[in-house]
Amino acid sequence: MQVSRNNLLFILLFAGGIILPTAILAYLSFRNIQNEVYLAQKNFDENRASFQSELEDAVSKEQKKIYQETKGASLFLYEQPRGLLDFGNATEFKSVDGIEAIFLFNNGSLVYPDISSRKFSSTQDFSTTIPSAREKALYQEELANPSNREKIYQSRVARTVHPSSIFFDSKEDQVQNLLGMIRFNYQNKKYDAALELLEILEKQPHQQGYLHTDLTRSANLLHFEILVAQKKHQEAQDYCLQILNEFLEDKSIKDLSSSRFFFESAFTQILSFEKLPQDRREAFWNLRENFNRQLGYMDILFKHKDLFVEALEDENSSKDGILYKQEDDITILKMSYPYLSGDQMVIAKIDNKAYRDRLVSKMKMVAQSWKNIPFSVVDQNDNIILGSIPDSSIIVSQGILSDAMNWEFSLYEKDMQDIKKESRHRMFLMYGLMLFALFAVIFGSVFMLRFIAQERRLLSMKTNFLSSVSHELKTPLTSIKMFAEMMARGRVQKVEKVQEYSGLIGKEATRLENLIGAILNYTRMENGTSAFKWEKLDFSACAQKVFDAVENIGIEKGLEFRAHFESCSFVMGDYTALYSLCQNLIENAIKYTNAPGEITIDVHIEDNHVVFSVMDTGVGIPPAEQKNIFNDFYRVGDEMTRSTKGSGLGLAIVKRVAKTHRATISLVSRPGKGSTFTVKFKKAE
Ligand code: ADP
């Protein structure tokens, strides 16, 4: 490609505008990436600190939220039911997710749950009483039958004594025997007898020793169930309420769990009564809810009394007024009650699972936005709650995350291998992209330059062509015009002269015709093969015809010809196109060979091919030009060509004709020695 001033400018602009900035950018990016590991390390330290504080914040915020909710819920505790009537009323109760039970104290004594303000006692009293005559009679009656005796014995809860000595050996035996008989009657559907015995049992006050609480509630439940079995639903309800009243009025509460069991089963059964009126159903429902909750709370209080007393008496609360106490798997928190005057105090039992879930969900949200930081949160039993403990990493920071849960939070040293690997990946990606961009720019530019050069060449060829074609057209036209004018003016009188001039006019007209024919042929080729008329024809005949037409021009120039046309050289093709191919090759040989010279034209059959060759001893074509001469409008820039008329279209036409006929062209040429053009057609069957 010739480097003109414009090209140079273009190259300068290209280098300055694209390559240079790209190179500088690439260099800067590479340097930047090299700093990556260092920066990543620095960043990581900063991130770690932020992560830790965000995590701590999230936990403490969520804890505070739970305290606020607990405080809010405790407001409702004053409105909770206190007496039997209250229990039946619907009252709002706010539960808090994460808190299992809330207790309200005033001046050290319990305000809610109200029923637990009674004295707690689990004393069991087994002092004796003498059985009544009726009781004895009943025993006798039942035990007279030996099979009954065995069954009663089987129904007893404690089978320590043999049936024969079943009677009044110990006070506990007396109770057991009675219960056994009641159950026996109940199983045999002797409800009235069972009830009679039950009343005897119930009339014996516990203090007198027949029953401890456990057995009292068993007897109560049996009584209740007998009433239900007898379908005395109203009586069953009244009985249940009577027991509830006794329970609430009792000065001390014994064995809470058996009482809970009794009320839970009784209420559930009452709620299943079909004919229970709606308002009563609602009342019993509320009764069950409220009473159960309070009993449940009392259960907790009862079990962990020491812990509660410890919390109540402990003065050392945190700055938020919160104090935690832990014992095995129970955690309670104490907070001062903010809404009322006096010495109110709220103690709440944390629901470990729900509390943990609330905090963990908040921690997870933080951890999600800080990926790639190795950390772990473990509970008191070293169970991992969040994160993971890396195999061999150094702990860089540690702390307690939740005062309530006592979780240990640890941050670890990041494995720098990871960061290095990450940077390396990024670096490769960057290098790859840069290289790709650079290659794309360079290739694109080279192609663009080539394209521009080609366009220019084509433009100059076309200009060349136009000027040579117009020159070609003008020359014969001038001669024709001149001779015609001379004859028109009557200057040419002699018959010989008129004949000579007319002959010249005819010759020039033929030249014009040929030129226009060449241009038409070329355009015809340009437009494709649609205008071709394909037929099987004898190539030799076609070449011979061309030779006959142009031979004289060569002979006049002083050239010698040798020609050989093998007959029956059939090919499939378009006659006009093949004629044009032969004409161009033979005419070129004549044009570019000076006298004395020799031109050999040959058509022969070789294997399956028809071979056509034109050999001359002319000027030849330099090797560098041999590729170009088949291009449209191309003419070699030597003296010989300049002095020879032509359009630069002849070989372009030859090439196209050969291509459309699937023929190959080869050229052997040496400057100063001559050229041989060979075209090889496929022979037609
Ligand atoms: P033109 O009309 O100029 O002859 P062609 O396409 O036929 O155009 O040929 C292209 C160029 O190839 C010519 O300008 C000439 O320089 C060169 N050329 C073609 N045939 C011969 C030949 N037989 N000997 C030497 N040069 C040739």
**How far, in Å, is the centroid of ligand 1 from the Cα of 595?**
17
Cβ of 636 below 6 Å from ligand 1: yes
CA separation, residue 192 to residues 135, 215, 227 (Å): 15, 20, 10
Q: How confident is the model at residue 127 (pLDDT cuts 50, 70, 90)?
A: very low
Average pLDDT over residues 156-167: 47
Which residue is listed with tokens 């004919």?
A: 275
CB 539 within 8 A of CB 570: yes
Q: What percent of the chain has pLDDT over 70?
A: 80
Q: Which atom of ligand 1 is nearest to the CA of 589?
A: 23
Q: For 80, which DSSP code?
A: S
Check residue 548 and give its pLDDT.
93
**pLDDT tops 80 at residue 13:** no
Nearest CA to ligand 1 atom 14: 635
Is residue 668 classed as helix, strand or coil in its secondary structure?
strand
Which range has the worst mean pLDDT, 350-359, 571-580, 632-641?
Answer: 632-641
Check residue 437 and give its pLDDT.
82
Which residue is listed with tokens 């190179």?
A: 23
**How far, in Å, is the centroid of ligand 1 from the Cα of 651?**
7
Is residue 24 classed as helix, strand or coil in its secondary structure?
helix
CA separation for the pair 476, 504 (Å, rounded): 10
Is residue 574 classed as helix, strand or coil in its secondary structure?
coil
Q: Which atom of ligand 1 is nearest to the CA of 647?
A: 2
Nearest CA to ligand 1 atom 19: 588
**pLDDT tops 60 at residue 673:** yes
Nearest CA to ligand 1 atom 4: 646
Give 3-state DSSP helix, strand, coil % of the chain, rounded to 5.
Answer: 60, 15, 25
Cβ of 298 below 6 Å from ligand 1: no
| Cβ-based burial of 379 (10 A; exposed 0-12, middle 13-18, buried ≥19) | middle
Average pLDDT over residues 76-100: 73
Average pLDDT over residues 229-235: 90
Cβ of 585 below 6 Å from ligand 1: no
| Cβ-based burial of 447 (10 A; exposed 0-12, middle 13-18, buried ≥19) | exposed
Cβ of 613 below 6 Å from ligand 1: no
Average pLDDT over residues 220-231: 90
Q: Identity (one letter) of the amino acid at 276?
A: L
Check residue 354 and give its pLDDT.
92
Report the helix count and the strand count for the chain, using DSSP H and E. 21, 18
Listed in sequence order, the residues at least 6 apart from 219 whose beta carbon sits closer than 8 Å to its beta carbon are 179, 182, 198, 201, 202, 211
| Cβ-based burial of 450 (10 A; exposed 0-12, middle 13-18, buried ≥19) | exposed
DSSP string, 20-33: HHHHHHHHHHHHHH
CB 172 within 8 A of CB 126: yes
Cβ of 641 below 6 Å from ligand 1: yes
Q: Token pair for residue 290?
A: 């409220």
Nearest CA to ligand 1 atom 13: 635
**How far, in Å, is the centroid of ligand 1 from the Cα of 565?**
24
**pLDDT tops 90 at residue 658:** yes
Cβ of 674 below 6 Å from ligand 1: no
Query: Rounded to 5 degrees, what angle do the CA atoms 648, 650, 655 make?
Result: 115
pTM of the model: 0.47
Q: How confident is the model at residue 600 (pLDDT cuts 50, 70, 90)?
A: very high
Check residue 389 and give its pLDDT.
83
Check residue 131 and give its pLDDT.
47
**How far, in Å, is the centroid of ligand 1 from the Cα of 458?**
17
CA separation for the pair 571, 543 (Å, rounded): 12
Q: What percent of the chain has pLDDT over 90?
A: 22
Cβ of 621 below 6 Å from ligand 1: yes
Q: For 188, which DSSP code?
A: T
99-106 and 570-573: which strand pairing? unpaired
Q: Which of 2-11, 423-432, 438-447 has the highest mean pLDDT?
A: 438-447
The DSSP bridge partners found for residue 348 are 102, 333
Nearest CA to ligand 1 atom 20: 588
Cβ of 597 below 6 Å from ligand 1: no
**How far, in Å, is the centroid of ligand 1 from the Cα of 663?**
20
Alpha carbon 492 to chain centroid, angstroms: 98
Count CB atoms within 10 A of the CB of residue 615: 18
CA separation for the pair 328, 312 (Å, rounded): 19
**How far, in Å, is the centroid of ligand 1 from the Cα of 70?**
105
CA separation for the pair 214, 158 (Å, rounded): 13
Q: How confident is the model at residue 83 (pLDDT cuts 50, 70, 90)?
A: low
Q: How confident is the model at residue 667 (pLDDT cuts 50, 70, 90)?
A: very high
Mutation to probe ligand 1, out of 473, 585, 621 (largest number of atoms < 8 A from CB): 621
Check residue 357 and give its pLDDT.
93
CA separation for the pair 290, 267 (Å, rounded): 12
Nearest CA to ligand 1 atom 2: 646
Cβ of 584 below 6 Å from ligand 1: yes
Cβ of 587 below 6 Å from ligand 1: no
CA separation for the pair 533, 578 (Å, rounded): 11
Q: Which atom of ligand 1 is nearest to the CA of 651?
A: 6
Q: How confident is the model at residue 85 (pLDDT cuts 50, 70, 90)?
A: low
pLDDT digits (tens, 9 = 90+) for 463-498: 766 776 777 678 778 888 988 888 888 877 888 888
